[in-house]
Amino acid sequence: MDLISLLSRWTHIGTAIVLVGGTCFLRFVLAPAAAQLPDAEHQKLKELVMNTWKKFVHAGITLFLLSGFYNYLVVQIPKHKGDGLYHGLMGAKMMLAFGIFFLASALVGRSKSFEGMRKNAKLWQLVIIILAAIIVGISGYLKMAGPKLVG
């Protein structure tokens, strides 16, 4: 195992821990507590939190893309040549991740088009958490299944 591959994997998993953990915190801890505040204070807290959280989301998406494509293209493709199930599941995992990237970006963004989503953030955060759990399940399966022996 080379150092770059190891660092890329750590980056990918560490980013997932921070972003999924942060989303769980926002959804299940901060949102219920903030809902008990008067509306003006609630909105101010939301603005302050989102201004910081969006930096984590944008940096995390960048790190996911860089580490994920490196891990797949450089490390995994050579190990899984001809393994259709592996590549199909990896493709599904990537599509789910792109969906999460979209949802997370919409929730921290300022576009009027996604204001409705931001008003219902608790629902969309839950969707992100469920999609992330599915990705973890797929990833665990792919890691445990190992490379197919093509001969």
Share of the chain above pLDDT 70, in %: 97
Angle between helices 121-145 and 84-108 (to 10 degrees): 160
Domain extents in the chain: 3-145
Q: Is the pLDDT of residue 2 over 70?
A: yes
The predicted-structure confidence for 82-135, as pLDDT tens digits, reads as follows 999 999 999 999 999 999 999 999 999 999 999 999 999 999 999 999 999 999
CA distance 63 to 12: 7
Q: What is the mean pLDDT of the chain?
A: 95
Alpha helices in the chain (DSSP H): 3-25, 31-34, 39-70, 84-108, 115-119, 121-145
**Bigger pLDDT: 84 or 150?**
84
The predicted-structure confidence for 68-78, as pLDDT tens digits, reads as follows 999 999 999 99
Q: Is the pLDDT of residue 151 over 90?
A: no
Q: What is the mean pLDDT of residues 133-141?
A: 96
CA distance 67 to 73: 10
Q: Which two tokens stand for residue 104?
A: 């997370």
CA distance 56 to 60: 6
10 Å Cβ neighbour count for 132? Answer: 19
**DSSP-derived secondary structure letter, 109:** -
The pLDDT assigned to 7 comes to 96
Q: What is the mean pLDDT of residues 24-51?
A: 96
Give the gyration radius of the chain's Cα atoms: 18
Q: Is the pLDDT of residue 1 over 90?
A: no
